[in-house]
Structure 1
Amino acid sequence: MAAMDIHHPLALAFGIMGNIVSVLVYFAPAPTFYRIYVEKSTAGFDSFPYAVSLLSAVLWIYYALVKSHSFLLITINSLGCLFQTIYLTFYLVYAPRKARIETLSMVGMMNLGVSALVVGITYFPFRGETRVRVVGWICVAVSIGVFAAPLRIVVRLIKMK
């Protein structure tokens, strides 16, 4: 239990509750992807929210590594990476060719390019607590993007009407 050495029992309790809620959030798209699997078609679904969520999980893992002693963050975001990768794989299997290419390039740019950029601009110029704060704020901004990403679909629907 040394990896979960949290000085405040309340912090540990809320961390565990947060992980439980996060697991439920990661399961939320499962019915959509079951439908994609059954229909063998993405039926106009967008992969963008899942790509952004994958980026967020990757960056939170980086934050947890920079911060140290963040076992709960590493576990839930590793699970998040797994879920988003599975969802994106389902999407890629059943998406039309054009959507597949767009998704692969988007995931590549976001999860390789942006992740490498964040590591590059935070690892070398910053040290200690400053690095933790900077990476933390970047993660918060990307997390807001995770919840804003589905709005892209709403905007598209409004334009179609």
Structure 2
Amino acid sequence: MSYPDYNQMFQCPSCGAIGNIFLLKVSGPQIIVKQRCPTHGGRTFKIPLKDLDEFLDPIRDGVFRCYQCGQPATPGPVKFSGAYAVLNCVCQVPGHSSKTQKIWSTIYVDITEHSPKTPEKDQHYEAPVVKTKTPPKKEVLQQCPNCGTKLEGNEKFCGTCGFKL
């Protein structure tokens, strides 16, 4: 049995470049990824939600990249809106404008809380540490009443099925 190379799924099929992930959302049992290669443009692909832990490093690498040139970028302020974390990454190349990115909030929290892999020597990129404010807890739900997914207790929507909590 062969296992897929998860890093290769996030590379442009034409040139192998890792582009900016500008939309990441959960739809049923899969994650929909919209990514842009700086040379060949945008593409959409799907990955299984059950294998999310295997994809955290490539997702982190694609989210924190410049939309225009594909180089590592620094995240700007993050706003949580509904089921999404909305952010703009700032490129280190002067004059590159940023594009608003919408990343499924539970996945965004996962990629910012877990330690990234050690970057390769040719990269000058440090994973950002984003601190988020948690609202005071009223009633802590342990699991989604709709699909049974385990919850941390501060979500407004279920990260798996999108059910409003």
Do they superpose with TM above 0.5?
no
By relative contact order (CA 8 Å, sep 6+), the higher-ranking structure is 1
The TM-score with structure 1 as length reference comes to: 0.31
More helix by share: 1
The TM-score with structure 2 as length reference comes to: 0.30
Q: Which has the larger radius of gyration?
A: 1
More strand by share: 2
